[in-house]
Amino acid sequence: MENVRRKKKNGRFVLAVVTAFLLLFASACGQVEGGGAPGADVSGQTVMEGVGSGGSSGPLEDSRGPGGESGSGDEAGEAAKEMTVHFLDVGQGDATLILCGGEAMLIDAGDNGQGTNVQNYLRKQGVEALKYVVCTHPDEDHIGGMDVILYKFDCETVFVTEEEKDTDTYRDVADAMAQKGYSRTLPVPGQQYPLGDAAFTILGPSAIGSGSNDNSIAILLTHGEDVFLFTGDAEEEEESALLAGGLPLDADVYKTGHHGSRTSSSKDFLEAVSPVCAVISCGEGNSYGHPHAETLNNLRAMGVSVYRTDEQGTIVAASSGRGITWNCSPSETWQAGEPTGSAASQGTSQESAASQGTSQESSGVQGAGSSQGTAQDAAADSADPAYICNTNTYKFHYPSCGSVKQMKESNKLPTNASRDELIQQGYDPCKKCKP
């Protein structure tokens, strides 16, 4: 099992000490009941090591106690309990589930076609209620499925910015909140909230401007010495504001902004974050060219390990507070999604339209560790199979599809099963070759 040592930084240590002190102080002041569900079992590579931390629930300024069992003085030195971060495969969109200490948090919920898929995934993880819901910004590929989540789960705190959009998607979310009696919690930079044994800090936005992407809620999640950064679709304007804001940005795992677009993840911002790993959430064969070559090149030059939902399906990171393990190995393709030649200009215009919240492609949520189904039984004996299945992403392609050339040989499953049979077995048709 590969072990990649994590970079030690004085700022990280100070942040962990301050967070631990605040959490322990909150723990000593009282207790509230915790909700949510346990995380999924994962296995994979250890990529980082550090030290653990205790935890509490509710905003830290409220000095409320921990959910579940409270820690005594004798337990203060124990390592933090496991936290799992699930980067859901929702096609060309974003949805991230965080589970820690019996509490659950959801950041975005994919596009309008993904609400039920995200709901089902949460149910499979045992989630019954959500401690926090974060609507990073009102674009359809981020909050399209959120109305379903708000209806189906009891949600304690719902973060929504002041930005409003004249779209059916935004109205659906607003209507769901009204019908369920939820009030909007505005994100305030610097405000810190506990989640089980973890805590997260609101980093932005510091102001609401004309560009929806640059109004994204940005969050730094800390569990012991393991740190995750989420920035929604923040582009260079908001990244510059985050750099000027003075709050810590250094993170082990960076949820890459705007699906790996060149408009996000500027060099200055990446240098400040200095991630060990990055996760890109985008749809296979998406028409926007995500992730862009410039972003991939910058990450590669920094030696960052990259995980991609378009290649690997749902990605799960498990944090012990002392290190992070993954349910899969990093991507090795470094394959950009950008079109070439005459198609490039079309992709650029589509990218611009995407930033305005237009509809996106979607594909079903693919859970980690799923079986290969019975497609294996229909594996082709001939040299000319009808389809090629990717057993990692659970998508099927025509043999001539360009994505087949990018697959690892170990993930290829030639089959003569029919299209309907493959769909029944849980495979999704490739959006690029459209089998």
- Read off the pLDDT of residues 111-146 as tens digits, 9 standing for 90 and up: 999 999 999 999 999 999 999 999 999 999 999 999
Do the Cβ atoms of 122 and 95 come closer than 8 Å?
A: no
For residue 395, the cross-strand partners are 390, 428
Beta sheet of 277-280, edge-to-edge order: 192-195, 198-204, 218-223, 226-230, 253-255, 277-280, 305-308
Instruction: For the chain, give the mean pLDDT.
Output: 79
| Closest to 104 in 3D by CA, of 85, 87, 88, 117 | 85
Q: What is the pLDDT of residue 48?
A: 42
Q: 3-state SS of the chain: helix, strand, coil percent to 5?
A: 30, 20, 50
- pLDDT tens track for 7-40: 444 455 445 544 555 444 444 443 333 333 333 3
Whole-angstrom Cα Rg for the chain? 21
Helix locations, 135-206, DSSP H: 140-143, 146-152, 168-180
Q: What is the pLDDT of residue 405?
A: 74
Q: What is the pLDDT of residue 249?
A: 97
CB contact set of 105 (below 8 Å; sequence gap of 6+): 97, 98, 99, 130, 131, 132, 133, 134, 195, 200
Angle at 96 between CA 92 and CA 101, to 5 degrees: 170
Do the Cβ atoms of 395 and 309 come closer than 8 Å?
A: no
Positions of the chain with pLDDT under 50:
1-10, 13-14, 17-18, 22-58, 60-79, 341-382
Which uninterrupted H or E stretch holds 27? Answer: helix 10-28
SS3 88: coil
**Entry pTM:** 0.67
Q: What is the pLDDT of residue 101?
A: 95
Beta strands in 189-288 (DSSP E): 192-195, 198-204, 218-223, 226-230, 253-255, 277-280
Inter-CA distances, 108 with 42, 149, 281, 360, 402, Å: 22, 10, 12, 14, 30
**Distance (Å, whole) CA 415 – CA 271:** 45
CB contact set of 69 (below 8 Å; sequence gap of 6+): none
What one-letter code names the amino acid at 366? Q
Judging by DSSP bridges, how do beta strands 154-160 and 129-135 pair with one another? parallel
Q: What is the pLDDT of residue 198?
A: 98
